Homo-oligomer: A and B are copies of this chain.
Amino acid sequence: MGATPPRSPLAPERFPDLPAVGGVTLATTAAGVRYMGRDDVLLVRLDPGSTVAGVFTRSATRAAPVLDCEAKIGADSTEGAAFLVNAGNANAFTGRHGVEAVEALSRAAGVATGLPPARVFTSSTGVIGEPLPHDRISAKLQDLAAALAPGGWQAAARAIMTTDTFPKGAGATVEIGGTPVHIAGIAKGSGMIAPDMATMLVYLFTDAALSRAALKAMVSELADRTFNCITVDGDTSTSDTLLMGATGASGVSAEGNEAFRTALERVMLDLAQQVVRDGEGATKFVEVAVTGAASDADARTHALSIANSPLVKTAIAGEDPNWGRIVMAVGKSGAAADRDRLTIRFGEVPVAENGWVSPGYREEDAAAHMKGQEIRIGVDLGLGSGAAIVWTCDLTHGYIDINADYRS
């Protein structure tokens, strides 16, 4: 492994102050899975009565821990739960050994936390195809369990990092009927995948009470509007995992509460955008907003086609208001478009409309917007009311450096 890349220029100034979440305790340690001299394992314990929901990669080559989480997540239980996460090895494409590693870790973490193995959810992120040295993790579990304590979010966010250049956290406090309810989350990821060393992992916690069904519905819907609206390179990890636990420790139910839902969406969007801001080699944060599409699904297809186009992303890196590439990306997306109704904006600058360049367009106006660190591309199809927003970053020499040279 090479030197750690420098902190992303798009990173937030500092890790946020996050509230402790009743019923949630954490501990991290250095198990030496692959990295040396840093924590690489996170254990989270959720008190009895907690509900758990998850969203997982749709890859057809999902890693063993993902398949195991999916098998366990649908069960109702009042026994509590544990999340066990390691960085440095993805336990992906490891055949029978991978399944055995997950089973061994679930048993060992269950013993350490007093939970049945079926309530232990594991995630692994790092190299693909190498056997996970799970005994190194198991050997630390008693100590980890003894160290479990509330808070410690930044240490937790650091322990699960791979190619990330900064730890990612977000949180909120909402009052429900006069009682404060807390949300805290951490995430890692700096490509939708950077396969040797990345993957997107997200862990969210609240002390509000939510039934498993309500939690599952809310998390799935909000993930579609947040984490599923970001892209770095269009590649999808074999291990992407989002887990959320609701402990109910606040004594207050959040079911049907709009303020809670809004706060959770904001936390998830914040974490999702932090992943984009840590995109490999990123120097620009890009919002692609599509309106006027025949449907929301069409708008999303166009937005992702623009956001994933190497030619659009390199133009942004070059600070070039190259609207021809936007026309191209809309044209190739496969969703409905009419060239002669298309409107394109960079920031507030109208660039193209009615099938040609906008009257009075001056390239220097658009070029000024492209020089900023936050780029906004607006596209209106002029066909209907479908809309979508997607976030991405530019494609730079840094991406090539990281991904062409990573293992050497």
Interface on A for B, CB 8 Å cutoff?
Answer: 57-62, 92-97, 127-129, 191, 193-196, 233-238, 309-311, 314-315, 317-320, 322-325, 327-333, 335-340, 342, 352, 354-357, 395-397, 399-400, 403-408
Chain B residues, CB < 8 A from A354: 95
Interface of A is mostly: loop
Chain B residues, CB < 8 A from A396: 400, 404
What's the Cα separation between A110 and B317 when bound, in Å?
44
Inter-subunit contact A328/B235 (CB<8 Å): yes
Inter-subunit contact B400/A322 (CB<8 Å): no
Chain B residues, CB < 8 A from A395: 310, 400, 404
Inter-subunit contact A399/B337 (CB<8 Å): no
- Which residue of the partner chain B has the closest CB to A357? B129
Inter-subunit contact B397/A397 (CB<8 Å): yes
Copy number in the complex reads: 2
Chain B residues, CB < 8 A from A407: 318, 320, 322
Q: Which of B237, B355, B405 contacts A95 (CB 8 A)?
A: B355
Inter-subunit contact B339/A404 (CB<8 Å): no
Most B C-beta atoms less than 10 A away, residue of A57, A191, A310: A310
What's the Cα separation between A407 and B319 when bound, in Å?
10
Additional pairs, 7, CB under 8 Å, beyond known A61-B342, A191-B311 = A57-B331, A59-B328, A60-B337, A235-B328, A236-B331, A395-B400, A396-B400
Knowing A314-B403, A356-B129, the reply to whether A331 touches B195 (Cβ < 8 A) is no
Knowing A60-B339, A128-B327, A399-B310, the reply to whether A320 touches B235 (Cβ < 8 A) is no
Inter-subunit contact B128/A408 (CB<8 Å): no
Return 26 A-B CB contacts under 8 Å, by A number. Answer: A58-B332, A59-B328, A59-B331, A61-B328, A61-B339, A92-B324, A94-B356, A95-B356, A96-B355, A96-B356, A128-B327, A128-B328, A129-B323, A129-B327, A233-B311, A235-B309, A237-B328, A238-B327, A238-B331, A310-B310, A314-B399, A320-B406, A320-B408, A395-B404, A397-B400, A400-B400
Chain B residues, CB < 8 A from A357: 93, 129
Inter-subunit contact A236/B404 (CB<8 Å): no
What's the Cα separation between A333 and B236 when bound, in Å?
9
What's the Cα separation between A373 and B335 when bound, in Å?
37
Inter-subunit contact A324/B191 (CB<8 Å): no
Inter-subunit contact B95/A195 (CB<8 Å): no
Inter-subunit contact A194/B311 (CB<8 Å): yes
Knowing A311-B235, A328-B237, A400-B396, the reply to whether A322 touches B408 (Cβ < 8 A) is no
- Which residue of the partner chain B has the closest CB to A236? B332
Chain B residues, CB < 8 A from A310: 233-235, 310, 395, 399, 403
Inter-subunit contact B196/A322 (CB<8 Å): yes
Knowing A59-B331, A235-B309, A396-B400, the reply to whether A93 touches B314 (Cβ < 8 A) is no
* A-B CB proximity, top 4 nearest: A128-B324, A61-B331, A318-B404, A59-B331
Chain B residues, CB < 8 A from A328: 59, 61, 128, 193, 195, 235-238
What's the Cα separation between A338 and B280 when bound, in Å?
29
Inter-subunit contact B60/A330 (CB<8 Å): yes
Determine how close the nearest CB of chain B comes to the CB of A231; give it in whole angstroms. 11
Inter-subunit contact A235/B95 (CB<8 Å): no
Q: Which of B196, B309, B355 contacts A324 (CB 8 A)?
A: B196
Determine how close the nearest CB of chain B comes to the CB of A120; give it in whole angstroms. 23
Most B C-beta atoms less than 10 A away, residue of A58, A193, A342: A193
Inter-subunit contact A62/B331 (CB<8 Å): yes
What's the Cα separation between A24 and B57 when bound, in Å?
55
Chain B residues, CB < 8 A from A337: 60-61
